[in-house]
Structure 1
């Protein structure tokens, strides 16, 4: 698995509501043989916050990443 193959960059911009957000999702290997879904979110121009969700195999991690991306798509986030 290449490092940037599973990187999703999403943005939600709505000037009328002063909304300028980003959401990044990536699947990364861990040191112990598992995989992690890294989520980073926040206002554009900031570092944002980060959360890791750990999984035993890559297929579970990719399924979780797609589930999160679908949720964000419903809320108005679009690919960068």
Structure 2
């Protein structure tokens, strides 16, 4: 599961991205990788590991809802 969100507001000189990806790792765990920053820049990255895919997807969906409340929309 990959979700790419944008928040663009030219009046505030704001062009941000937020990417959330749920994937398996080499050791059998499931990870949620979050990348964020200004569009066009490399940004920052955080990886969290979960014992099951259900827990990882639940966490990812919660992050997506939080970002949507803050004005992020799915990228076209």
TM-score over 0.5 (shorter chain): yes
TM-score band w.r.t. shorter chain: over 0.9
Count of residues paired in the alignment: 75
Give every structure 1 segment of 4 or more consecutive aligned residues whose post-TM-superposition deviation is greater than 2 Å: none
Q: Give the aligned partner of residue 23 of structure 1.
A: 18
CA distance in 1, matches of 2:29, 2:53: 8
Computed over aligned residues only, the root mean square deviation of the Cα atoms, in angstroms, reads: 0.4
TM-score (norm: length of structure 1): 0.92
Unaligned runs of 5+ in 1: 1-5
Q: Give the Cα separation in 2 of the matches to 1:69 and 1:53.
A: 15
TM-score, normalised to structure 2, is 0.97
Alpha-carbon offset, residue 18 of structure 1: 0.7
SS in structure 2 opposite 1:76? coil
- Gapped runs of 5+ residues in structure 2? none
